[in-house]
Structure 1
Amino acid sequence: MTSPSIGHVSDTARWVAVYRALESARPDALFHDELASMLAGEQGVTLGASGMLPRGARNHWPTVVRTRLVDDLVIDSLQRGCDRVINLAAGLDTRPYRLDIPAETIWYEADLPDLIAYKAARLADRRARCERVTRTVDVTDETATAEFLAEACEGARAVLVITEGLLPYLEASQVRMLSNALRRPEIRWWAQDHWSPAMLRMVNLTMGRELGSARWTFASSLNFYQDWSVETAHSIFRAAARWHRSPLVLRGWALLPDTEPGARLERSQFWCGAVRLTHSDREGRV
């Protein structure tokens, strides 16, 4: 029996870097990440180029589309006055290097020690477009997370928090803890990838063996996030069809709701997308 390709959830960061490298090589790339290959490492890039990624992980279009959708949410937030970005479980993300970010923006990244050290070594001679601060934080540790957020939010007026690729690997109680911790007055937006329970079951069914110990454990309706409101929601399926990334058989899924985060979205069993939440008591504030 083939052993799982993933030994720890943090190992998925290299998969994502491989996908960004593959997308960046396309003539019609949705984004360009010149650092992705370096971060993926020679082994990761070789696997991607040879088609030898695990069976369930070969078609990388959902991750690529998610990356572009979150890119767009970041840029939109910056244009609307965001002065601080906090990326929780940042993995091998390179947005501070590749996006057009104002130099005065402060960008915090938090992750486990091994990932922080690996990334620092690989990017030692690279300069981000804004001030970038890294911290080793286990986001499942309530006290450590609260202390980190207090530091990262200090002096900020409008913070965007990103939890891309994080929540599906947590337990519901951990997501609830994080949701409560993010309800700080400095935090205006929370960007995440949202997956319905039916999508979680589908991912574990098709990629469970490759994910190993990193099988998904959390999915919910958007009603789960008490005291948060959906400001923006973009369907991965709709965007993938628009950008010609999804398989032909799934093009019909582009009809699923996109930016209408109301009852239709809540009723959709197969919805997944990039979502930006805001505090319910801060809606409409500048």
Structure 2
Amino acid sequence: MVTEPSIRDVSDTARWVAAYRAIESERPDALYRDPLAARLAGPEGVSMTATGPSMWPTVVRTKLIDDLILDSIAAGCDRVVNLAAGLDTRPFRLALPAELDWYEADLPELLGYKESVLAGETPNCRRITRTVDVTDTAALTAFLDEATAGARNTLVLTEGLLPYLRPADVATLRDALRRPDVRWWAIDHWSPGMLRMVNLTLGRKLASARWQFAAPLDFFRGWTVDSAASVFRAAALAKRSQPVLRGSAWTPEHAIGPLEKSLLWCGAVRFTHADVRGTE
């Protein structure tokens, strides 16, 4: 008998990721603590972790993006815009400036579920939520107009989003984010070789949420890599990956050869672009 995949669509992956954040939070050497993750994952999210390979890349990715956010704030970030925010809890668990405006956008059903679970919780900054389909260009543009108004150094997050989009949608997003008030764009990057590996190992579990997009970093025309950290190297240093991969701790942070053209690299990347005004 073939077991039906527990992940029905892309929105389900948010519970899946939250469940792995909860598991990481229970470790004595946790890379981060997320006291809300277990509640957000719920029984459905926990059931998704019962089968399949370890999701250590997702666990480590979370930490790397955390670091990029905090580094950006230290460098003058005055607004965070999280597209397809899913069940992310950073406004509640990171030490953020109280005056920081943090915008979150996602689909109505997922955002409604998240708000019901988080009712009564107080974020560490000013958190604003909006229902937005990021593949609707008009809706995305209107949201960005609102979310970046009055900001000078916005950081946009698209963690866990791009692989699920069609290449044309990623290209549209790439161009839409090149705004003078957006200083940085942080992504988790998965090259074409990594996409094939993920769909090969997790394709049946992901079902209709199979990954669709991957490209070398030079796909992101108009953007320059400002920071890049290897998931494999970070995982090896933190002893989260399998022992056979622990040698990655001694590999270069960036890919061998030009990072922008690498077909086999994954990591957390922060972009900037030529139109940026920078801090005052």
The aligned residue for residue 280 of structure 1 is: 274
1:225-251 Cα offsets, whole Å, 9 max, x none, are 111000000000000011111101112
Q: In structure 2, what is the equivalent of residue 54 of structure 1?
A: 51
Find the counterpart in structure 1 of residue 136 from structure 2.
141
Q: Distance in 2 between matches of 1:284 and 1:123?
A: 34
Q: State the SS of the aligned residue for 2:258.
A: helix
Deviation at 1:41, TM superposition (A): 1.0
**What residue in structure 2 maps to residue 68 of structure 1?**
63
* 2:263 equivalent in structure 1: 269
After TM superposition, list the pairs within 5 Å mapping 1:182-193 onto structure 2: 182-193=177-188
1:236 pairs, out of 208, 231, 234, with 231
Instruction: Give the letter aligned to residue 110 of structure 2.
Output: L
The yes-or-no answer on 1:5 pairing with 2:29 is no
- Give identity over the alignment, percent: 61
Q: TM-score under structure 1 normalisation?
A: 0.93
Q: Secondary structure at the match of 1:26?
A: coil
What is the aligned partner in structure 1 of residue 19 from structure 2? Answer: 18
RMSD: 1.7
Structure 2 gaps, min length 5: none
Following superposition, the deviation at residue 263 of structure 1 comes to: 4.2
Check the 8 A contact 2:183/2:278 in 1, yes or no: no
- Using structure 2 for the length normalisation, give the TM-score: 0.95
The aligned residue for residue 38 of structure 2 is 37
- Quote how far apart the aligned CAs of 1:261 are: 7.4
Structure 2 partner of 1:115: 110
User: Is 1:181–2:181 an aligned residue pair?
Assistant: no
Shift of 1:60: 1.9
Instruction: State the SS of the aligned residue for 1:55.
Output: coil
Shift of 1:270: 2.3
1:235/1:256 contact within 8 Å kept: no
> How far has the Cα of 1:54 moved from its partner?
2.7
Distance 1:261-1:270 versus aligned 2 partners, 3 A rule: closer
**Which blocks of at least 5 consecutive residues in structure 1 are unaligned?**
none
Deviation per residue, 1:149-182 (Å, 9 max, x gap) = 0000001111000000000000110000001110
* CA shift in 2, pair 1:173/1:262, >3 Å: farther
Distance 2:16 2:96 in 1: 25
